[in-house]
Structure 1
Amino acid sequence: MPLARLDIAKLRNLTKIQFEPSHQVNVIVGENGSGKTSVLEAIHLLSYGRSFRSHKHKTYIQHDQAECIVFAQLKASTSVFPIGLKRARDGAIDVRVQGEKVHSIVELAERLPVQLINPDAFRLLEGSPKIRRQFVDWGAFHFDVQFMPAWRDWQKALKQRNSLLKRGKISPNLLAAFDQELIRLGGTVNEVRQAYVKHLIPYFKTVLNALSDELDVSLNFTQGWDAQKTLAEALESGVNRDIELGYTHSGPQRADLRVKTKAGDALDTLSRGQQKLVVSALKIAQGQVLTDMGRPLVFLVDDLPAELDANHRQKLCRLLESLNSQIFITSVGSDSLDFVWSDATDVRHFAMRNGELQRVAGDLNE
Structure 2
Amino acid sequence: MTVFGGLSAPCLYLPMPLKQLRIQHIRNLTNVTADRLSRINILYGDNGSGKTSVLEAIHFLGLTRSFRGNQFRHLVQEGETRALVFAQTDSLGAGQVKPLGVERSLDADVRVRYAGESLDAAALAELLPIQVINSDTFDLLDGSPGIRRQFLDWGTFHFDPAFIRLWRGFRRILKQRNSLLKCGKIDPRVRQTWDAEFVHYAEQMTALRQLYIEQLRPGFEQALSALLQGVEVRLLFSPGWDRKRGLEALLTENLERDLRQGFTSLGPQRADLRFKTGSLNAADRLSRGQKKLVVSAFRLAQGALFHRLNNRACIYLIDDLPAELDERHCRQFCEFLEASANQCFITCVDPDLLSRVWQPETDVALFRVESGTLTHRGAPGDQT
Instruction: Give the alignment's TM-score, normalised by structure 2.
Output: 0.92
Hey, what does 1:297 align to over in structure 2?
A: 314
Q: Which runs of 4+ in 1 moved over 6 A?
A: none
Corresponding residue to 2:214 among 194, 198, 221: 198
Aligned residue type for 1:278: V
Deviation of the 1:336 alpha carbon: 3.6
**Contact conserved, 1:22 with 1:346, CA < 8 A, in 2?**
no
Q: How far, CA to CA, are the matches of 1:314 and 1:134 in structure 2?
A: 28
Hey, what does 1:277 align to over in structure 2?
A: 293
Hey, what does 1:261 align to over in structure 2?
A: 277
Q: How far, CA to CA, are the matches of 1:216 and 1:339 in structure 2?
A: 30
**Contact conserved, 1:263 with 1:269, CA < 8 A, in 2?**
no
Q: How far, CA to CA, are the matches of 1:136 and 1:91 in structure 2?
A: 28
Aligned residue type for 2:258: D
Aligned residue type for 2:76: I
1:84 corresponds to 2:101: yes
Q: Tell me the number of residue pairs that the alignment of Structure 1 and Structure 2 aligns.
A: 365
1:342 corresponds to 2:370: no
Hey, what does 2:17 align to over in structure 1?
A: 2
Q: How far, CA to CA, are the matches of 2:180 and 2:82 in structure 1?
A: 39
User: Matches of residues 103-182 of structure 1 in structure 2 within 5 Å?
Assistant: 104-182=120-198
Instruction: Give the alignment's TM-score, normalised by structure 1.
Output: 0.96
Q: How far, CA to CA, are the matches of 1:322 and 1:62 in structure 2?
A: 37
Corresponding residue to 2:32 among 7, 14, 17: 17
Deviation of the 1:22 alpha carbon: 3.2
Q: How far, CA to CA, are the matches of 1:53 and 1:113 in structure 2?
A: 18
**Contact conserved, 1:35 with 1:354, CA < 8 A, in 2?**
yes
Deviation of the 1:21 alpha carbon: 4.1
Hey, what does 1:42 align to over in structure 2?
A: 57
Deviation of the 1:20 alpha carbon: 2.1
**Contact conserved, 1:172 with 1:240, CA < 8 A, in 2?**
no
Aligned residue type for 2:137: A
**Contact conserved, 1:25 with 1:346, CA < 8 A, in 2?**
yes
Q: How far, CA to CA, are the matches of 2:336 and 2:147 in structure 1?
A: 24
Q: How far, CA to CA, are the matches of 2:74 and 2:269 in structure 1?
A: 30
Gaps of 5+ in 2: 1-15
Q: How far, CA to CA, are the matches of 2:148 and 2:74 in structure 1?
A: 26
**Contact conserved, 2:42 with 2:351, CA < 8 A, in 1?**
no
**Contact conserved, 1:29 with 1:349, CA < 8 A, in 2?**
yes
Deviation of the 1:361 alpha carbon: 3.5
Q: Pick which of 83-92 and 344-353 moved more.
A: 83-92
Change (3 A) 1:233 1:295: farther
**Secondary structure, counterpart of 1:119 in structure 2:** coil
Deviation of the 1:239 alpha carbon: 1.7
Corresponding residue to 2:66 among 51, 59, 62: 51
Deviation of the 1:81 alpha carbon: 1.8
**Secondary structure, counterpart of 2:124 in structure 1:** helix
Hey, what does 1:96 align to over in structure 2?
A: 113
**Contact conserved, 2:355 with 2:380, CA < 8 A, in 1?**
no
Deviation of the 1:187 alpha carbon: 1.0
